[in-house]
Every structure is written in C-alpha cells, then in structure tokens.
Amino acid sequence: MGDWNLLGSFLEEVHIHSTIVGKIWLTILFIFRMLVLGVAAEDVWDDEQSEFICNTEQPGCSNICYNKAFPISLIRYWVLQIIFVSSPSLVYMGHVLYRLRALEKERQKEKACLRAQLEDLEPMPEEHRRVERELQKLEEQKKVNKAPLRGSLLLTYVLHILTRSVVEVGFLIGQYLLYGFHMSPLYKCTRPPCPNTVDCFVSRPTEKTIFMILMNSIAAVSLFLSILEIAHLGIKRIKKTLYGPPRRYITNAGSHHPMETQFAGSGSKLQAPASCNRSLLHPDAVSEVALLRSEMSPGGNASLASALASAQLQELTGLVAWNHLCF
C-alpha cells in the first residue's frame, strides 16, 4: 500500500480547523482506518489470489473464477474509499488557507490603524501602554493561525461534511453489492473455459469476514459522526439565532439605553472615518466613542477625556476576531 504521509499532513491541518466532532472523525480516520488498513488488514489479503484454489486443471479456469469472485481487491477498495472520503476535507482546507490570507491582510490594516491612532493620542502613559498591549494581542492572534468558522467558511464546512457522507454511503452500498458482509469459504464457478461447475476455495475466509465487519463498522461510525456534526452545527446556529451574542451596556458618565448605541449626538447613523478600515470593529465599540464625544464639551474634564481615549482604543481593537467577512 502507498505512503499515507502526504494525505496525513493535509488532514492534520484540517484537524486544527474542525469542530470537536470533526476532530473525533479525523482521529477515527487516522487510527481505525488508515492504521488498521496499513498494519493488519493488508496482510490478510496478501495471499488472496495465490491461495484461491479451484479443483480443476483447465488452463485459465482459475483466473476467470478469481476475477468473478473478486472484481476488485477489498484492500484497494478500502484505499479508494479513504481517498474519496478525505477529498472533500482537502477542498475545505483550500478555503481555510484563502481565508487565513484574507484575515492576515485585515490584521495588518488594523495594526496600521491602531498605530496611527496611537500617534494621535495625547501623551497618556497608561493609554500608550494599553495600545502596546493591544498590538501584542494582534501578534498573538497571528500565532493562533485559525480562521473563525462562520460565513462562507461555515457553508463550505457543512458542504464538505455532506459530500463525504454521501461518498461514505456510496462505498458502503458498493461493498454490499460486490461482496455483502460475509466472505464465503466456497465459491462455485460456472464460467467458461471451465468445463463444468468448479469448486473454488477462498483462503482465510473467517479472518477476512472479521475485517470486513470491522471496516464496515468503522465506516458506519464515521457516517454517524458526520450526521452528528451537522446536527451540532445546526443546534449552535439555532441557539445563536434565538439568543444572539451577549449585549454590552455602556456605562460612562451616566447610563444609556441600549438603543442609544446606534446613534451619535445629533441622532444620525454612525459612519466610520475614511482613514481607517472599520469592517472588523464591533458596533458597540464604535457607538461608545460616539456617545462620549457627544457628551464632551470644549472644556470637558480630564476623566471624560481619558474615558474617550480608552473608548477609542476599544473602537480600534474591538475584538478583531469578531469580524464577519464572507468570501
């Protein structure tokens, strides 16, 4: 059997960007399919043709009967099954890499915007230290190197689960039509050039039956995990739709109603300055800056000015991972 290292390295990357159920599915694929197939199952079928013995001396009869009894070696069939079931994950990984590049570009824009804001701040040592901490957080986010599972990436993830589930079902049906789930020790062959009905004997039928049941059971568990993962994602989506993300209530220089976070001073809709790309900013953070600016008078006190500077930092950094980019 061929080397699994290349496929394994790709699937290790998929493991990083999967849900907990997806990680379990990949673990089963690695250990209970690739490992079992490479270490144990292959040896059981080594003598598949050499020990397929028919009680006839007619030239060509044994080969014809073997071809009829085993249209495709089960080892090669299972290898193809693993490759085809894993292929949708490789497509998903391609989308992940594209998304990571896009997020890195956005992160660089945010860092540039944050540094520009740092230059505009009045000399406030505490706020400068906070900006440095936020810049450090951006660097740490880069080290995580994991794309958030939402938007078009979530759609690709669900589609790749559905595709591999359909492929899994197709291979299970195909194996049932070719061999069933039991390896008979005796095969009766009537195909020419055999002169009459010929009895052919399969080597180690019980051991092969055990491995057939094992591999089909693993495939069934993998299929169940795929269905469970779709249900898991669906339940999370429903909960998010019903309850939504937690709201932030702004309390600075007095309490404000949550609806006030949509408006600034004169009641107009907030607009992000053209100097910064605000596509990644949390709307509550943007609104907090607007409210504080509207409350400041030309001779405002220092505490309110400090609060405004702090809110500006919140606006700029604003949970970069919260973004809702769709590619």
Residues 85 and 193 in one domain: yes
Domain stops at, among 216, 243, 270:
243
Q: 227 and 183 in one domain? A: yes
One domain for residues 176 and 32: yes
Regarding whether 147 and 94 lie in a shared domain, the answer is yes
**Residue 224 lies inside a defined structural domain of this protein:** yes
Residue 250 lies in a domain: no
**DSSP-based helix, strand, coil % in the chain, nearest 5:** 65, 5, 30
Alpha-carbon span 61 to 83, nearest angstrom:
34
**What's the domain count of the chain?**
2
User: Does residue 214 have a pLDDT over 60?
Assistant: yes
User: What pLDDT does 125 receive?
Assistant: 60
248 within some domain: no
Mean pLDDT of 257-274: 38
With a pLDDT cut of 70, the percent of the chain lying above it is: 58
Does residue 249 lie in a domain region?
no
Comparing 256 with 3, the larger pLDDT belongs to 3
- Which has the closest alpha carbon to 205: 9, 315, 35, 52? 52
**Which whole number is the average pLDDT over 212-219?**
90
Domain enclosing residue 116, as ranges: 5-243
pLDDT at 161: 92
Residue 277 has pLDDT above 70, yes or no: no
Confirm if 294 and 264 have CB atoms less than 8 A apart: yes
Asked whether residue 324 is assigned to any structural domain, the reply reads no
Residue 162: predicted pLDDT? 94
Confidence class for position 279, pLDDT limits 50, 70, 90: very low
Residue 85 and residue 273: Cα distance in Å, rounded? 48
CB 315 within 8 A of CB 291: no
Q: Between 52 and 274, name the one with better pLDDT.
A: 52
Q: Is the peptide bond before 195 cis (omega within 30 degrees of 0)?
A: no
Q: Which residues of 280-311 are buried (b: 16+ CB within 10 A; e: fewer)?
A: bbbebbbbbbbbbeebeeeeeeeeeeebbbbb
Shared-domain flag, residues 233 and 306: no
Same domain, 183 and 276: no
Does 163 fall in a domain? yes
Cα torsion 61, 62, 64, 65: sign: positive
Pick 300 or 8 by higher pLDDT. 8
| Helix or strand holding residue 264 (H, E) | strand 263-264
- Residue 198: which H helix or E strand, with range? strand 198-201
Single out the residue of 101, 76, 86, 94 nearest to residue 6, CA to CA.
86
Let me know if residue 60 belongs to a domain.
Answer: yes
Query: What is the Cα–Cα distance from 169 to 81, expressed in whole angstroms?
Result: 10
β 53-54/198-201 pair status: antiparallel
Q: Give the percent of the chain with pLDDT over 90.
A: 12
- Among 121-135, 208-222, 234-248, 266-280, name the most confident range: 208-222
- Report pLDDT for 124: 57
Extract the tokens encoding 267.
């009641």
Within 121-204, where are the H helices? 125-144, 152-178
CA nearest 110: which of 311, 322, 317, 326?
A: 317
160-175: pLDDT as tens digits: 899 999 999 999 999 9
Look at residues 227, 222, 229, 228 and name the one whose alpha carbon lies nearest to residue 171.
222
- Report the half-sphere exposure of 141 (CA within 13 A, side-chain side): 22
Mean pLDDT of the chain: 71
246 vs 216, which has greater pLDDT? 216
Q: Are residues 218 and 278 in the same domain?
A: no
Q: Which of 209, 243, 277 is the last residue of a domain?
A: 243
Same domain, 237 and 266: no
Q: Are 28 and 85 contained in the same domain?
A: yes
Q: Cβ of 40: how many Cβ atoms within 10 Å?
A: 12
pLDDT tens per residue across span 41-100: 777 777 778 888 888 888 888 888 888 888 888 888 998 998 899 888 888 888 888 887
Per-residue confidence band for 137, with pLDDT thresholds at 50, 70 and 90: low
